[in-house]
Amino acid sequence: MKKLLLIGVSKKTHTLQRIIEEIRKVDFDFLKWSDLVFKSAALWAGNKKINLGDYSAAFIDSPGYNLVQKKAIGSKRKIIASINLSNELYLIVSTLQEKNCLVINGKTILKYPYYNKFSQSYIFNMKAIPSINTIHISDNEIEKTQKVLAQFNLCYPIIVKKSTGGLGLEVFEIKNQKGLRTFLKNKRGLNLIYQPYIKNDGDYRVLVLGGKSLGIMKRKAAPGKWKNNFALGGSIEKYEDPKMERFAEKACRALKLDLAGVDVFKIRNRYLVIEINLFPCFEGFEKVHPEVNVAGEIVNLLRRK
């Protein structure tokens, strides 16, 4: 009998802990991203050669992680390097699907192998998904960037995001041209996006699985802060809005997603997608929706194969 495959940064992440709890008696293998070795067309994890034909279904968590400097007492953690494994993800998913293995979000991963905040903005417009106006510049030379932002009437304050960031990290509020010049120093080659700052009283995470919304979580920034992310200390609460749920479901259908966290602004009763996360964390969601067993629903989807 074939097994389930889980791949992630660590078994200790909330997402994988919960999924492993729900798998129970089903046979599965867990592969750690940092343990994987590719030798020609073969995949190894440590001293073990992995046969991807052994699996009926796979859940693959975020293909990347940050290396963080050890925290000194009273200091903030500093990211010293970011590991992006999108190429490795693409090769693993394509091989699994060739072997008739169900991969959650596999179709989307193969269609959009460079899925990030920049490519999302392009995809959203191609699919007519209402979203935040976004500018990407292939070369972030300071004078050029200022001219482009003026050309498209992007007024300060603005939000600048690293395309591959997550959990609210690598997202910056820039208040004026002087701030932009300071920010862009030594960042000419980074993949960045530029967006207007949208005043809000919070944003919303709609968790969609198998084409259906599991519910909505409202997120609100901590006092004195502007980022709404739960991972950065934002408050969370259960929220109900059936129209928003249908909006999120429609967006996920357009991208052929099995599982997604759809982040939404609600501005004057109009919905705008902030981003759609293919590897959503759901720790906060399960706190405000204790009646929803997200991990159990994911396992049920994997077992259908």
222 with 191, same domain: the answer is: no
171 with 256, same domain: the answer is: no
Domain boundary among the residues 176, 196, 216 is at 196
C-alpha closest to that of 121 among 130, 109, 110:
130
- pLDDT at position 189, please? 85
- pLDDT at position 67, please? 75
Domain boundary among the residues 196, 211, 241 is at 196
179 with 248, same domain: the answer is: no
Instruction: Provide mean pLDDT across the span 84-112.
Output: 95
222 with 249, same domain: the answer is: yes
53 with 94, same domain: the answer is: yes
The pLDDT tens digits for 15-72 are: 999 999 999 878 999 999 999 999 988 999 989 999 999 999 999 999 987 777 665 5
Greatest mean pLDDT among 198-207, 228-237, 240-249, 295-304 lies in 240-249
253 with 286, same domain: the answer is: yes
210 with 267, same domain: the answer is: yes
- pLDDT at position 231, please? 67
The secondary structure of residue 72, as a DSSP letter, is P
Q: What is the CATH number of the domain that holds 102?
A: 3.40.50.20
Q: What is the pTM of this model?
A: 0.90
The pLDDT tens digits for 268-301 are: 889 999 999 999 999 999 999 999 999 999 999 9
Are 227 and 234 in contact, with CB atoms under 8 Å apart?
A: yes
171 with 75, same domain: the answer is: no
CA 253 to chain centre: 17
What is the domain extent for residue 43? 3-111
**Helix/strand/coil for 10:** coil
- pLDDT at position 83, please? 84
Burial group, residue 226, by CB count within 10 angstroms (0-12, 13-18, 19+): middle
In a domain, 52, yes or no: yes
Number of domains composing the chain: 3
In a domain, 120, yes or no: no
In a domain, 303, yes or no: no
Q: What is the CATH number of the domain that holds 177?
A: 3.30.1490
188 with 207, same domain: the answer is: no
212 with 285, same domain: the answer is: yes
Q: Which helix (H) or strand (E) holds 177?
A: helix 177-184
The pLDDT tens digits for 75-97 are: 555 666 778 899 999 999 999 99
In a domain, 296, yes or no: no
Query: How would residue 196 be classed by pLDDT, with cut points 50, 70 and 90?
Result: very high
In a domain, 305, yes or no: no
209 with 184, same domain: the answer is: no
The pLDDT tens digits for 221-236 are: 877 776 777 666 678 8
12 with 44, same domain: the answer is: yes
The pLDDT tens digits for 118-169 are: 999 999 999 999 999 999 999 999 999 999 999 999 999 999 998 876 665 6
In a domain, 221, yes or no: yes
